[in-house]
Amino acid sequence: MILSIINRISQNNLILKGWTIVAVPIFFILSESSGHEYFIYLAYFITIILWSFDGYLLFKQKSYLALYDKVRLTDEWDIDYVIDISELHTSKVKLIKSVLSKTLILFYGSIIVLIFISILLF
């Protein structure tokens, strides 16, 4: 059960990255065809929003992984079968660390740098 939640969250992370890859060029095309540069700013804003949401999902995924490790190491007769990750948020997983993880900084940071370069060139 916990592993299916983790798999679903990881699939949603991939979908968000796909949306980002599709949405940013659409805003560039709209900006080029209409002549308005505010579409590029909108692409910047959407990238920040999707980055934060992707970081939040990564935060939840790490929380469920910590819960899975806790259940995995617990004796079978001592498992309480409650899927509550609230106690794990403060101890092992931090939201800011998830949003600013290396992979998300590399992926979304490169997109933001490209958007910034296009703002300077537009």
pLDDT of residue 70: 82
Q: What is the mean pLDDT of the chain?
A: 87
Q: How far is residue 18's CA from residue 54's CA, in Å, rounded to a whole number?
A: 11
Query: Can you give the pTM of this predicted structure?
Result: 0.84
Residue 102 has pLDDT above 70, yes or no: yes
pLDDT cut 70: percent of the chain above it: 91
> Residue 64: CB partners within 8 Å, gap ≥ 6?
2, 5, 6, 9, 85
pLDDT of residue 67: 85
Position with higher pLDDT, 85 vs 96: 96
Q: Which domain holds residue 117?
A: 2-121
User: pLDDT tens for residues 61-73?
Assistant: 988 888 888 888 7
Q: What is the number of structural domains in the chain? A: 1
